[in-house]
Amino acid sequence: MTSVRSLLSRLWAQVILGVVAGLVTGLVVFGITRVTGRNLYLIAGGVAGAVAVVALQLYRRTAQLTEVKITVPQVSELTFVVNNEARQVAWKLYVETVTRVSTQALADDEGLLREALTSLYGLFATTREMLKASRPSVPVSGGQTVEHLAVTMLNHELRPFLSKWHPRLREFENANPLGPESSWPDNKACRNELRDVQTHLLGFALGFARLAGVRNAEAMLGPAGAPP
């Protein structure tokens, strides 16, 4: 009974709001029809300018749509539809991904896992903030968006690896504050999985590059573009 009353009250509120909006619209239209001379031209020009701005914004968001097919690790082939704004986001994601220490090959006797994990955390946080700051891509039937690829990278690659290995490494560091990282029993296993993640991240990076329209992205990566 309570839900029915709530529904009826919302319905009446919508009806009243519609009546008020209709009355206001009618008054505005009536007032405009009574205007002549210079004022009429001013009003018409203002309305035309507002319509032009809205149309320009819609054009910028949907213009130059391009269909791109890419294949990334653990995702298979997907079709994406991108516009200029999506290309800019993809370019930023590409740069963030390939310039991180975490995407560079790490031999068994080189570097520190702590630095690599910190770099991966930075990539996760930066990607998330970048997506939050950008406007969602215009949904297009039959195609994925750059946000889909970015979120897939976060949830399928970064989150599982960090959730598994960060607590283990932190536990070792807390128990052995002066001990070298190389004495961690899981050091080799973590490095092996890190190599797999790095390979996958490079695949995502090349996917972002294709969405951004970057030419010869593999050549730009240099040695980092090859599997570790």
130 touches 96 (CB < 8 A): yes
pLDDT at 39: 54
**pLDDT range class, residue 93, cuts 50, 70, 90:** very high
> What count of residues does the chain have?
228
pLDDT at 58: 47
**pLDDT range class, residue 54, cuts 50, 70, 90:** very low
The Cα 168–Cα 162 span in angstroms is 10
Backbone angles phi, psi at 128, to 5 degrees: -65, -45
**Average pLDDT of 19-37?**
63
Q: State yes or no: pLDDT of 227 exceeds 50.
A: no
Residues of the chain by 3-state class (helix, strand, coil), percent to 5: 75, 5, 20
Q: State yes or no: pLDDT of 210 exceeds 80.
A: yes
pLDDT at 47: 54
Among residues 165, 153, 166, 134, the alpha carbon closest in space to that of 199 is found at: 153
- The structure tokens listed for 86 are 């999506």
The Cα 8–Cα 3 span in angstroms is 9
Among residues 70, 74, 68, 69, the alpha carbon closest in space to that of 201 is found at: 74
Report the predicted TM-score, pTM, of the whole model to 2 decimal places.
0.67
